Amino acid sequence: MKHVPDASLYRAALEAGLLSSLTCLQSLDASSCTLTSLESLPVLSKSLRHLSVANCSKLSAESLVPLSALTTLTSLDVSGIRNRVDVAATADEDLHRLSFLVNLQVSMHPPGRRS
- Percentage of the chain surpassing pLDDT 90? 18
pLDDT above 80 (res 15): no
62 is a domain residue: yes
pLDDT at 95: 76
100 is a domain residue: yes
Question: Quick one: average pLDDT of 43-66?
Answer: 87
Structural domains in the chain (count) = 1
Q: How confident is the model at residue 57 (pLDDT cuts 50, 70, 90)?
A: confident
C-alpha span between 107 and 52 (Å, rounded): 12
Q: Which domain holds residue 32?
A: 7-105
C-alpha span between 104 and 75 (Å, rounded): 6
73 is a domain residue: yes
90 is a domain residue: yes
Q: Kindly report the CATH number assigned to the domain that includes residue 61.
A: 3.80.10.10
pLDDT above 60 (res 35): yes
115 is a domain residue: no
pLDDT at 108: 54
28 is a domain residue: yes
Q: Are 78 and 87 in contact (CB under 8 A)?
A: yes
113 is a domain residue: no
40 is a domain residue: yes
Q: pLDDT tens, 71-92?
A: 999 999 988 877 655 666 666 6
